[in-house]
Amino acid sequence: MNPLKSFLLQLQEISLLIWQSFAGLFRRPRYLGETIKQMDLIGVGSLPIVLLTGFFTGGVLILQTFPTLQYYSIQNEAGRSVATSLVRELGPVLTALMVSGRIGSAISAELGSMVVSQQIDAMRALGTDPIRKLVAPRLMALIFMLPILTVAADIFGIIGGGTIASSLFNQDTNVFITSVRNGITTEDLIGGIIKPLFFGLIIGSVACHKGLSTTGGTVGVGRSTTSAVVLSSIVVIIFDFFLSKAIQSIFDVGRI
Amino acid sequence: MLSSEIEQPVITVEDTELAATADIQDAVDDKTRILPAIEFRDVHLSFDGKKILNGVSFTVRRGETKIILGRSGGGKSTTIRLVLGLLKPDSGQILIDGEDITHYTEEEMMSVRQKIGMVFQEGALFDSLSVYENVAYRLIEQGVDEATCEKEVRRMLRFVDMEDAIDKMPSELSGGMRRRVGIARALVGDPTIVMFDEPTAGLDPPTARTICELAIKLRDLEDVSSIFVTHEMNNLEYLSSEYATVNDEGEVVYEMEGKNLCLINTEVIMLRDGQIIFSGKDEQLRKAEDPYIGKFIRGK
């Protein structure tokens, strides 16, 4: 099969998976317990790595930009630079990439193992739709939890930036906080929340699709896991560009 | 169904005869028994241009066991996946209890699957669920209350002699135990049709024998229609020459058909490259002159 045909086929299958998951939400049985369990695994489970990533990203942003800002005597705007970078771009994207690595791989491996050990077939044979039972709760959990994780990463990123600014560059904490408050607009915050909603959908649908289409035994599970992480990360980064452009146009965010 | 397994009351010979006469009369009166439980009509299926099934037609009557023999990759497991609607044929018809399910959607198949139990090759137990949760899976999904669930699960586990393992996780079970739990899970909800997909593959002979005994018990005492996919001749021997009955003490015993009795509720199909090359009784199979069948039966 040529690459274009293969790409279109995968796109069709992923779109169908998303549609079936959402359509299934309005029919019984509803797997609320499973969704909450996944929210715990995805949200609470990913919190430590997301907070660490956010903190040190904020820190390194200040580390790299503060000397340049100082050169132009605008070091008082350091808080603004770190906050806008984190809220608009780095927070959503880095959180999505971390979650893609941790959760996307786990979902793909779990579903892939279930496919090769015939557990998915068994589920269907027992009268359960695997899309409603397995895919929909994971998708919902990712869509709900990724914005929350992103907010947490943003906050810790700003705290990390502030810590580095005050400890290494002796900047007054109040100056930093004022700069952050002046820098972030409501539109930035809305944009920063909308992005992870889509990223959650991308990570969940790609990981579930790759897991459910696993073939070739345990080697196939490894292959699915790798391609789920790689594909979802690439799609997140590419989609981020178009999403940023759309948000700029719709909410008038990101323009100076 | 399977109610005989809940408690073992003392059954007198008179009781057994009366019950048997009543059962036979009920069976004669039941018009739906005329319909085959499973029917394949000229079913074709290909994957990537390779013919997996090529014009397969057969029927499984009520209370009958159809043993499907054949080499690996010959289309045996595909046949039972088609019965469950896990695959769709390219052409032909598949009927379950006279209902044409060939073009049923996944949603429509869910109700059909309620009356079919499936025993998978490796058990296919859900790793993250305990034995209890695995066996109760169908009932939990249907929203059955906890007390009824536990009663039913214990009854089924007793049927496969696995009640002691109720709280264990699948990873703690041996291959044979997993298969037996798989059978218990397949039988929850009292399905009228059960599919066995090489349930004895890789098991030691005594455990394989136990699995075959369970299949015989379902066929003879519970009137279950089944397809038993295998490539092991021992399974054919057990299923086609022994029958289950209840003795005076109310215990299930297995007896040989002998020379004066011929089991009419077990037939054999042999598949080769997606085509049926033999269909009939085991005695006919053993007398078949086809060199492929001879090689399969005798190994040379």
What's the pLDDT score for residue A17? 93
> B91: helix, coil or strand?
strand
In this prediction, residue B222 carries a pLDDT of: 86
Please state, in angstroms and rounded to a whole number, the distance separating the CA atoms of residues A148 and A136: 19
The whole-angstrom distance between A114's CA and the closest CA on chain B is 8
* Omega before residue A29 within 30° of 0, cis: yes
Q: Which residues in chain B are contacts of A128 at CB distance < 8 A?
A: 137, 141
Compute φ and ψ for A23, nearest 5 degrees. Answer: -65, -35
- State what percent of residues in chain A have pLDDT above 90: 80
Q: How far is CA B171 from CA A73, A80, B110, B125, B147, in A?
A: 65, 54, 29, 10, 26
At A80 the pLDDT is 93
- Judged against a pLDDT cut of 80, whether residue A140 lies above it is answered with yes
Instruction: Look at residue B4 in the predicted model and tell me its pLDDT.
Output: 44
**Which residues of chain B, if any, have pLDDT below 70?**
1-32, 259-262, 300
Q: In the numeric block, which tokens belong to residue B251?
A: 């215990």
What's the CA gap between B228 and B207, in Å, rounded?
A: 16
Q: What's the distance, Cα to Cα, between the start and end of chain B in Å?
A: 43
Q: How do residues A170-213 score in pLDDT, each as one tens digit?
A: 999 999 999 999 989 888 899 899 999 999 999 999 999 999 99
pLDDT of residue B31: 64
What span, in angstroms and rounded, lies between the C-alpha atoms of A165 and A78? 8
- Please tell me the distance from the alpha carbon of residue A120 to that of residue A124, in angstroms, as a whole number: 6
pLDDT at residue A135 tops 80: yes
Residue B16 has a pLDDT of: 54
Per the prediction, chain A carries an average pLDDT of 92
DSSP E strand stretches across B169-236? 193-197, 225-229
State pTM to two decimals. Answer: 0.83
Q: Which one-letter DSSP state was computed for residue A104? A: I
Residue A47 confidence class, pLDDT cut points 50, 70, 90: very high
**Count of all residues that appear for chain B in the document:** 300
Query: Which of A119, A128, A129 is the closest to B124 by Cβ?
Result: A119
CB–CB of A122 and B84 under 8 A?
no
Q: Looking at chain B, which runs of residues are DSSP E strands?
A: 38-47, 50-60, 65-69, 91-96, 99-100, 116-119, 193-197, 225-229, 242-246, 252-256, 266-272, 275-280
Return the pLDDT at B8.
Answer: 41
Q: How many CB atoms lie within 10 A of CB A91?
A: 30
Using a CB–CB cutoff of 8 Å, tell me whether A181 touches chain B.
no
- Selected residue with higher pLDDT from B233 and A219: A219
How far separated are the first and last CA of chain A, in Å rounded?
47
Count the residues in chain A: 256
Separation of alpha carbons A112 and A206, rounded Å: 13
Contacts 24+ apart (CB under 8 A), A226-229: A228/A104, A228/A105, A228/A107, A228/A108, A229/A100, A229/A101, A229/A104, A229/A105, A229/A108
Rg (CA), chain A: 21
Residue pLDDT, tens place only, A49-94: 999 999 999 999 999 999 999 999 898 999 999 999 999 999 999 9
B210/B187 Cα distance (integer angstroms): 16
Mutation target among B107, B128, B141, B178 for the A interface, most CBs of A within 10 A? B141
ipTM of the complex model: 0.79
Assign B123 to helix, strand or coil.
coil
Distance CA A220, CA A187 (A): 44
Name the residue facing A118 among B116, B124, B137 (closest C-beta).
B124
Compare CB distances from B106 to A125, A126, A129 and report the shortest one's residue. A129
